A and B are shown apart, each in its own frame.
Chain A
Amino acid sequence: MKHLTEYRDSDTARRLAAGISAIVTRPWAIMEVCGGQMHSIIRNALDQLLPPEVELIHGPGCPVCVTPLEMIDRALAIAALPGTIFCSFGDMLRVPGSHGDLFGVKAAGGDVRVVYSPLDALELARRHPDREVVFFAIGFETTAPANAMAVRLAEGGGVKNFSVLVSHVLVPPAIRAVMESPGNRVQAFLAAGHVCSVMGTRQYPPLCARYRVPIVVTGFEPLDLLEGIRRSVVQLEGGKHELENAYPRVVTTEGNTTAKAVIAEVFEPCDRTWRGIGAIPESGWKLAERYAPFDAERRFAVEGIVTAESPLCRAGDVLRGAIKPHECSAFGRECTPRTPLGATMVSGEGACAAYYHAGRFAATSQGESR
């Protein structure tokens, strides 16, 4: 595939990694914010190419992991209502709420459907005018343009039986939260390339200055990731803390102005509680007043949501990079991919799930995984 395969060349990858080894002189801890980047690193075992001085810390960049528990519980309650068709991205189906997950609701008779795009949910609403179609609009800034467009098209097309349950989260506040949490060890960030394709890069230089951290906008393919890491190490070794764009073929300083305008029209900032981390002010988006009729939170007044997080779950500490998954006492015991206590153990996107599989290997051979 053009613009994909070229960035997977293994010889070039090895040379980029050698380039990192060549310049590193002391330990550095770099956080990659995006779950997609973590997935690519683990899947391609790129961390095994890095010199031991470079430690990758997996950040809270997985909307699946940080969607507030209360929002998950609300989703489960709405999905269980008769007459609704609850649509969601596949990632969310196995995320545990206080009691069960969307898969369980489906098994109990709820009409829960996986969609690839919010437009598919909108189409379902058009085709089933007698049913209430609800779309679980989660995601970082990358997904907001799509979710916003679906709402706009619903309004423009008079699709009254369509609503969205919004739980957007934003990257810059997450970086702030990480840098301000006690015991933080992160010294540089790989910013999420596709988030920046929408939002541009202007939000990051102030963060570089305030926290004295290099931030390198990075893509997702092996060469992109290694280059992002390399540039971070170059800055760290040189005592710099600047914003760099290592993904210029897709990311511009201004980002996508059309998308930003639609986002500004459909969403407005709000405080959000990040699962496992806690409340971060102005760290999320909710539907703007004008689009309130399409807000599933208002349309379906589900009462009596009492959230109950597993007391054993330390997903938040993992998401902030404070502990590694295997340092949690429940890891591999009460908490496994089959019986996840928290979102970070669900499927391959969460750090705990990734460690679960890599860690078992490390226990039985000398494979090093960080």
Chain B
Amino acid sequence: MCLAVPGRIESIREDQGTRMGKVNFGGVVRDVCLAYVPEAVVGDYTIVHVGFALSRIDEASALETLRTFAEMGILEEGLAEIRGEAPDDEPVLCPLPPAEAPRR
């Protein structure tokens, strides 16, 4: 139910009253219905499911998520180093900080 792929909006037009656009998915371009992302502009990335854009991808949020992942890795490796272990050996005794409360 959920195969949706991120793509970049290259152009937007009105097609008989419906907002449509050309979306570029890593070099593959397809016509996509943009009716559900009225706020999206050329250059935005969206998630597209069966030919419809369902959501803008929030760049700031994406960067934040990736930063969290990267930090997690550093924390893990740092702790392992302190304890003189290879990264994937014994579980670290000191638990990771609890996940943050939902922001929205």
> Contact residues of A with B, CB < 8 Å?
1-4, 6-7, 11-12, 14-16, 18-19, 21-24, 34-37, 51, 61-63, 89, 116-120, 139-140, 142-143, 145-146, 149, 153, 156-157, 192-195, 197-198, 201, 220, 223, 227, 230-231, 234-235, 237-238, 242-245, 248-253, 256, 258-259, 262
A231–B35 CA distance with the chains assembled, in angstroms: 34
Q: How far is the CB of B51 from chain A (nearest CB, A)?
A: 3
In the complex, residue of chain A having the shortest beta-carbon distance to the beta carbon of B26: A1
**Extra 13 A-B pairs, beta carbons < 8 Å, given A3-B45, A19-B96, A143-B1:** A4-B6, A15-B72, A18-B76, A22-B92, A34-B1, A89-B50, A194-B1, A234-B98, A249-B57, A258-B36, A258-B37, A259-B36, A259-B54
B61 CB, nearest partner CB in chain A, Å? 4
Q: Number of contact residues on B: which range applies? A: 35 or more
Residues of A within 8 A of B52 (CB): 117, 145-146, 149
In the complex, what distance in Å separates the CA atom of A89 from the CA atom of B38? 26
CB–CB A145/B54 < 8 A: yes
Residue among B2, B25, B92 with most chain A CB within 10 A: B2
Q: Are A195 and B87 in contact (CB under 8 A)?
A: no
Contact of A142 among B1, B33, B35, B92 (CB under 8 A): B1
Cβ contact within 8 Å between A249 and B33? no
Is the Cβ of B69 less than 8 Å from the Cβ of A223?
yes
- Given A18-B76, A23-B96, A256-B36, check contact A193 B54 (CB 8 Å): no
A234 partner residues in chain B, CB cutoff 8 A: 96, 98-99
Query: B66 contacts the other chain (Cβ, under 8 Å)?
Result: yes
Residues of A within 8 A of B49 (CB): 142-143, 146, 194
Please name all residues of chain A whose beta carbon is closer than 8 Å to the beta carbon of B104 when the two chains form the complex: 245, 248, 252-253
| A117 to B76 alpha-carbon distance, docked (Å) | 43
Compute how far the CA of A118 lies from the CA of B51 in the bound complex, rounded to whole angstroms: 8
A-B contact pairs, 25 of them (CB 8 A): A1-B5, A2-B6, A3-B45, A4-B6, A19-B72, A21-B91, A22-B76, A22-B91, A22-B92, A23-B96, A35-B1, A61-B2, A142-B1, A192-B1, A197-B4, A201-B102, A230-B99, A231-B99, A245-B104, A248-B61, A248-B64, A248-B65, A249-B62, A249-B65, A256-B36
Selected from A4, A12, A201, the residue in CB contact (under 8 A) with B70 is A12
Q: Given the complex of chains A and B, what is the CA–CA distance between A251 and B54 in angstroms?
A: 10
Pairwise interchain contact A146-B50, C-beta atoms closer than 8 A: yes
Give the number of A-B contacts (CB < 8 Å).
171
Which 3 pairs from chain A and chain B are nearest by CB? Answer: A117-B51, A36-B2, A1-B26
**Which residues of B lie under 8 Å from residue A117 when comparing CB positions?**
50-52
Whether the pair A256, B3 counts as a contact (CB closer than 8 A) is no
Given the known interface contacts A157-B16, A234-B99, A252-B104, the answer about A36 and B1 at a Cβ–Cβ threshold of 8 Å is yes
List residues of chain A with CB within 8 A of the CB of B50: 89, 116-118, 143, 146
Contacting pair A156 B17 (CB below 8 A): yes
For B59, what are the chain A residues with a Cβ–Cβ distance below 8 Å? Answer: 249
Whole-angstrom CA separation of A271 from B17 in the bound complex: 34
Chain B residue, CB-CB nearest to A66: B1
Q: Contact at B57–A15, with CB atoms within 8 Å?
A: no
As a 0/1 sequence over residues 28 to 63 of chain B, the CB contacts with chain A under 8 angstroms (1 = contact) are 000001011110000001010111101101110110
**Do the beta carbons of A1 and B76 come within 8 Å of each other?**
no
Given the complex, which residues of B lie within 8 Å of A251, measured CB to CB? 55
Q: Is the CB of A244 within 8 A of B99?
A: yes
Residue B95 at the chain A interface, CB threshold 8 Å: yes
Is A2's CB under 8 angstroms from B45's CB?
yes
Within the complex, the shortest CB–CB distance from B33 to chain A, in Å, comes to 6
Contacting residues, chain B, for A36 (C-beta < 8 A): 1-3
* Beta-carbon contact of A34 and B2 below 8 Å: yes
A89, B3: Cα distance in complex, Å: 12
Residue of A nearest to B35 (CB): A149
A204 to B81, CA, bound (A): 40
Q: Write out the residue numbers on chain B whose beta carbons fall within 8 Å of the beta carbon of A145.
A: 36, 52, 54
Nearest B-chain residue to A168, judged by Cβ? B1
B57 touches A116 (CB 8 A): no
Contact B99 A256 (CB under 8 A): no
Closest A residue to B73 by beta carbon equals A15
Q: Is B8 an interface residue (CB 8 A)?
A: yes
B62 to A, closest residue via Cβ: A249
Residues of B within 8 A of A220 (CB): 2
CB distance from B34 to the nearest CB of A (A): 11
